[in-house]
Every structure is written in C-alpha cells, then in structure tokens.
Amino acid sequence: MKLARFRPVGEDTAELGVLLGEALDAFVPFSALAAALPGGEAPEDLRACLAWSAAERDAVAQAAEAGEPRPLSAGTLLAPLKPEKCLAIGLNYRAHAEEFGGTVAPCPTVFTKQVSCITGPFAPIHRPRVSQALDYEGEMVLVIGQRCRHVPEARALEVVGAYCVGNDVSVRDWQLQTPQFTMGKSFDTHGPVGPYLTTADEIKDPQALNLQTWVNGELRQESSTALMIFSCAQLIAHLSTAFTLEPGDMIFTGTPAGIGHAMKPPAYLKVGDRVRVAVEGLGEIENVVIAEPEATALPFPAAYALGGFRLQGEGFREALVAQLPLLMLRRNGDHAAVIDPRFLKERAQPAADHARRSGDRMGAPGGAVGPQDAFRFFDGGPGASLPAHEPLAPEIPAARQGSGFPGRIGAEGEHPKGAIGRGQRG
C-alpha cells in the first residue's frame, strides 16, 4: 500500500489517503473511506496506518479501488510525516566511504538530522546563505512501525512499518567542522522524503533495491542496497540497543558513491539545479535548489540611532557596535543603519573604543553614515515596527523593509519618551 499526504490546489490543509493506479497518479482520501477504516474514522497521522494488520490494509485497499480518486495533478504530495526522531547512517557503502577518505568502521556511524529539516518530495531545497558547499545524498529511508527496544537482528524487519526515498542533503563545510555531522546535515529543507510511504509488506527484501540519483539529468549515483555495509536489520538492532524506536521514526540508511564533494573539482549544487532520487519500488523525489529566502531569518529586533534619528519605544536595551557591514535605509532625509545579524559577532571592542573617543555622539543630521560610526540599538515590545522607508541601495531585501523592527521614528519637533542617543534634534 502507498500511503500519502496530499494538499489539493488552493487549500491550506493536507489530506491523508492512498495512491492508486499503475502510475500511482490517483489519490483517494481516507475521509471518503471511513466505513472501511480501522476504528471507523480517518487517522490524524500516517503513523497510525503503520500498525494496520494485513486484513485491515486489504479492506482499505478494496474500498479505495471502489472510491472516487483525485488526480495528483490537482494538488501536491507532501512529506508523508514528520518523525519524532530522524536518524542517519554515514559511510554505509564501501565505495562512498573510500571516496570520502574514510575506512569501513566496525560499527555504524550514527548521526541525527533535526526533524525541522524534513520537507516534501517535490519542495525546493535551500542553498544556505552561509555556504556554497551544498551536496546531495540519495538514500533509502526506513520508517519504524512499532515501539521497540533491544530488537534482535533476526526479527528487526518486523518493526519496519514502511520505506520511502530520501535525500540526505549536506552542507559539507559545516558537516566537517567537527567530528559530529549534525549541523551540516540539519539545515532547514535538507531532508526531502517521500513521495509516499510504501508499507513494508510490499518490499520483500530491502537489501535488493536499485538506487539512483541525477543532477540536472546527469546520473551521479547508481548502486544497490545490497552493497550496504550494515543492513537495515543490523541498523535497527544496533540503534535499539541504546534507545527506544517509536512509530514514524525515520532512519536514513546511507548513500552510495557519487557525491558532488568527491568530484575533482567538487561539483556542489547551485541555485537552479534539479536533484532527482529514485529507489526501486519506492518511487522518486525531485527537488530544485533555490537561494535561501531572506524571510527565513528572524526579523532583526533592532533599529539604530544614526544621523539624528530619534527612536521611540519602551524596554530599550543599549549596546555599542561599530565597523560592521551595514544595510542603509533612508526616511525623510534622515539615515539609519540596520546590521546584518551575520556580522554581529565582529569587532565589538572597537565599537566601544570609538564610542569613548566620540563621546557617544551620533552622526550629523542628514550626513553620511559609514561603518566607522558608533551607535546604539534597542529591543522594543511585541508588534512594534519600523515605518515604511526607501532603501538607498537596491540590494536591500524587500523582506527586511518595514517589518520586524521595534520602535518608531519620531516626527520633527517631538520629544519622545525613551528616545536614545545624545545629540538628538528637538
């Protein structure tokens, strides 16, 4: 059985159901099959379906065949579920271990992918603003079907509820900063899975599936799960020795050779690249690389008193910063600077030194503002924002304009309570 989450065009909520047809291009929602479902009502999560008996699956399948399917073109397939744990195995194919400069380990190399990285089978993946070393890893993913601990290898496949396709998207420079891979493996959107869950009863041998990955139509990875160093059963036995596995937990089982990082020169993913991963019997996922949107960042909660700006609001917190790259904004002939948060960690002491030399005086009203200027910032209360303004430079992202900035700029002649910075007009 193929279990899926499907969001119809124009709707905000997703529906759970099954896919039908040789091409798996039709979706039947559980909401139309209530009479045939265990318990008589649609489950809230596909985890519940993983515990269905063979007889219960057959009853649902028969009812779906007699139902009224919807074409997949009428919506989008989403990630089948969001696991409580997303575990992953590194260097689990000998050829991949060799291309990565490693050796075959005596036990599985285990790391975690934070569950916030899970995304849909056809959703975009972000090229991070902090790295250009974005890479792909096509993998088979197994999904636990029942709560278990201390599972012997001989019985390990009994606890598998389903399988799906995954791409263990990796940010190589962040991955290799430390011996622990988690940071480089957990960026948001870097865990595409799907396109659906194939229940375990349909996969007779998970160690006999072909796996392929393409980038822009070029075949980069081609192997078989038969070449895994540690099998699915061995992985489950090993992991369950330490902790309980829960229904819906996902295990990325490792990637074969052919990653971009190992090419000479490295062939990292670029904006616009299209990555497709297919696993025999489990379907295909395909994701386009886009630049990480500016909207992913927390709106920076600070505005700056420069060039005679006067700021209003309560709960101000003062700090001195200088010599940092600035985003320049203008309103009514005045100037303000908004710091890119990526640079906040730089040169705090020079800022304080400059402030002492300048007597905390701000730039002249209407004058040029540069990185040599010291200034103060404040934290405002909930819901406060900077008024609309005109950017001085076109590269200032629209997402940063007029949103998320506390306080407000006082009108000429006001003496606002809580205004900060000496040398204010008024």
Question: pLDDT, tens digit, for every residue of 165-183?
Answer: 999 999 999 999 999 999 9
Look at residues 259, 273, 170, 270 and name the one whose alpha carbon lies nearest to residue 221.
Answer: 259
Local structure of residue 349 (DSSP, 8 states): H
Percent with pLDDT over 70 in the chain: 70
> What's the chain's Rg over C-alpha atoms?
27
Predicted pLDDT of residue 117: 98
Question: pLDDT, tens digit, for every residue of 121-131?
Answer: 999 999 999 99
Report whether pLDDT(140) > 60: yes
Domain map (residue ranges) of the chain: 2-76, 79-292, 298-409
Q: How far apart are the first and last CA of the chain?
A: 73
What is the C-alpha to C-alpha distance for residues 373 and 257, in angstroms, rounded to an integer? 52
Question: pLDDT, tens digit, for every residue of 307-342?
Answer: 333 333 333 333 333 333 444 333 334 334 444 443
| Domain covering 79-292 in this structure, CATH number | 3.90.850.10
- Return all residues near 129 (Cβ < 8 A) that are at least 6 apart: 291, 292, 342
Q: Residue 187 — left, alpha, or beta (φ > 0 → left; ψ -120 to 50 → alpha)?
A: beta
- Identify whether the C-beta of residue 111 lies closer than 8 Å to the C-beta of residue 181: yes
Look at residues 223, 225, 224, 220 and name the one whose alpha carbon lies nearest to residue 275.
Answer: 220
Report whether pLDDT(399) > 80: no
Structure tokens at 18: 């099954």
